[in-house]
Amino acid sequence: MKIVSDASVVAKWFIEEENTEKAIEMRDKFVRIKVLVPSLLICEIGNVFLKHPAKNSKDVENDFKALFDIGMEIVEINKPEILKDIHKNVKYFGIIYDAVYVTLALKERCKLITADKKLKRKVNMVELL
C-alpha cells in the first residue's frame, strides 16, 4: 500500500497541534505503508520549522535530520509529464501546492492524506487526517 502525504500532516510529526496523534500513528505505519511526498514538501516543512516560535536553530537542525531519517520516498516533480499535469490541476485548485500533491497522488494511483479541510472538500481521493 502507498499514500501521498502533504505538509499539513508531516508538520504534525514535529509540532504538537490538533490531530498530531493521528499523524504520528500514520508515520509509525511506514513499515507497512509506502509514503510518497513531492520534493516541494521539504521547502514547505522548512518554513514551518524556521517560523515556529518555539523552535531554535538546534531544534530545526534536529527536525530536519529526523525528517530525512523517517524513510519517506521523496519524488522529484521536475519531469515534463508531471509539470504538465500540475499546470492542468492548478487551474482547478488555484493553489500550486494543492495541485502538486493531488497530481502526485493521481499519478501514483493512491490516496492523498491531508489535514486541510478545504482540499478534502474539493477532491474525493483525499483522506482527511
End-to-end CA distance of the chain: 17
- AA identity, residue 71: G
The whole-number pLDDT of residue 128 equals 58
pLDDT digits (tens, 9 = 90+) for 32-59: 788 999 999 999 999 999 999 989 999 9
Helix (H) or strand (E) holding 6: none
The residue extents of the domains of the chain are 2-128
What is the average pLDDT value for the chain, to the nearest integer? Answer: 85
- Rounded Cα distance, 30 and 75, in Å: 16
32 vs 77, residue with greater confidence: 77
Four-way CATH pick for 2-128: 3.40.50.1010, 3.40.50.1100, 3.40.50.1370, 3.40.1180.10: 3.40.50.1010
Grid cell, residue 108, equals 501514483
pTM beyond cutoff 0.85: no
